[in-house]
Amino acid sequence: MRRDWRGYMSNEFEVIQPDNIRYINMIFNKIQYRSPHMHREFELVYNLGCDAVYHVGSVSKRFESGTFVIFNPNQVHEIVSVGPDPFMICLQIAPEFFENINSDISFLEFDSFYLPTYENNNVSELILKLSDSYLSQNKNYTFECASYIYQIFKELLDVFPYHISTASERKNNEEKALRLKRIIKYAKNHYMEKISLQTLAKEENLSLTYLSRFIKDNLNRSFQEYIGELRYNQAKYLIKHTNKNLMEICQECGYSDYRYLYQVFMKNYHCSPKQYRNMSVGDGTVSSPDSIETKLSKKEALEMMKSRF
């Protein structure tokens, strides 16, 4: 059944900057791929496009359109859309937003990023109403947005299992988050070089076995697989957005021989790097080495919403 979108969205849209409402950010985005990352906010991702796979630690789940997930602050997550038509509403909420009414919120952790049997009609309706208010910016819209966000979070707390972390848990989580940030930063700074897990283990003063398991548990892939993906994503970006020749790109991305670059493109795209460059001409997707996504303008967001309701 198709909803009448006019009941939720006003006629005028304006994409606003995240600091218009303190501690809140909403992004209307066509995410095809977002590499493993973390941030200090809670993030509610409402999927309105094709199916998407979310990787959180060692857990991977596929969700269809109309479903949502919730990520804790500093929880590593990766997003992969499975289809040609992605569209997601991403609501990011810093814990400080709630501190005046609940001082424990900074220590709250949801025990699962999804509920397999939860009927999320209430949250879905609230997100649509919030989107209307957030983008249209009618008079006193900030109060209306705050009201919807409180209702959304209240609904999540009613149905999602969660706990208030202890001082010991918080210390462990902080150390884990800092270690992950160092690992990701180290990998991104050195993937173009000859790099090994042994070198990183020495940097972290950890055993090779422990570090290997830590990376596998938190990034859902081995260290060498992660390095391979960084090289591949950077190569795709350079092929698509620069005129550098393929040998230059090999050297910049850490491929010692063009054959390795050729093999990875044949495996993933069934074409050569040169053919991929020709295929990419005219593709307006905003890309970076870490993501393939398009953040929508007000007109694009409105049309996308109308097409789904």
Indicate whether 173 and 231 sit together in one domain: yes
In a domain, 295, yes or no: no
pLDDT-derived band at 289, boundaries 50, 70, 90: low
Residues 181, 38: contact at Cβ < 8 Å? Answer: yes
Q: Domain boundary at 135, 165, 195, which?
A: 165
Indicate whether 13 and 154 sit together in one domain: yes
In a domain, 304, yes or no: no
Indicate whether 151 and 178 sit together in one domain: no
Indicate whether 109 and 144 sit together in one domain: yes
In a domain, 300, yes or no: no
Residue 295: name the closest of 32, 40, 39 by CA.
32
| pLDDT higher than threshold 60 for residue 9 | no
| pLDDT, tens digit (0-9, with 9 covering 90-100), for 62-74 | 999 888 999 999 9
Residue 164 structure tokens:
């208030």
Q: Which domain holds residue 222?
A: 169-288
What's the confidence (pLDDT) of residue 280? Answer: 59
In a domain, 302, yes or no: no
For residue 27, report the phi and psi dihedrals to the nearest 5 degrees: -125, 125
Indicate whether 114 and 154 sit together in one domain: yes
Indicate whether 135 and 173 sit together in one domain: no
Residue 199 structure tokens:
């070198």
Tell me the one-letter amino acid at 284: G
- The chain-wide mean pLDDT, for the chain, equals 87
The pLDDT of 292-296, averaged and rounded, is 87
Indicate whether 36 and 155 sit together in one domain: yes
DSSP conformational letter for 41: S
Indicate whether 197 and 257 sit together in one domain: yes
| pLDDT, tens digit (0-9, with 9 covering 90-100), for 162-205 | 999 999 999 999 999 999 999 999 999 999 999 999 999 999 99
Whole-model pTM: value is 0.82
Indicate whether 180 and 31 sit together in one domain: no
Indicate whether 208 and 250 sit together in one domain: yes
pLDDT-derived band at 18, boundaries 50, 70, 90: very low
Residues 230, 183: contact at Cβ < 8 Å? Answer: no
| pLDDT higher than threshold 60 for residue 10 | no
Could you give the percent of the chain with pLDDT greater than 70?
88
| pLDDT higher than threshold 80 for residue 2 | no
In a domain, 309, yes or no: no
The pLDDT of 271-286, averaged and rounded, is 72
The pLDDT of 301-306, averaged and rounded, is 74
| pLDDT higher than threshold 70 for residue 15 | no
| pLDDT, tens digit (0-9, with 9 covering 90-100), for 124-145 | 899 999 998 888 888 899 999 9
In a domain, 75, yes or no: yes
Q: How many domains does the chain have?
A: 2
| pLDDT, tens digit (0-9, with 9 covering 90-100), for 105-125 | 989 999 999 976 566 678 989
Lowest mean pLDDT among 27-31, 227-231, 281-285: 281-285
| pLDDT higher than threshold 70 for residue 279 | yes
Indicate whether 184 and 272 sit together in one domain: yes
What's the confidence (pLDDT) of residue 13? Answer: 35
Q: Which CATH number do you get for residue 69? A: 2.60.120.280
Q: Which CATH number do you get for residue 184? A: 1.10.10.60
Indicate whether 142 and 184 sit together in one domain: no
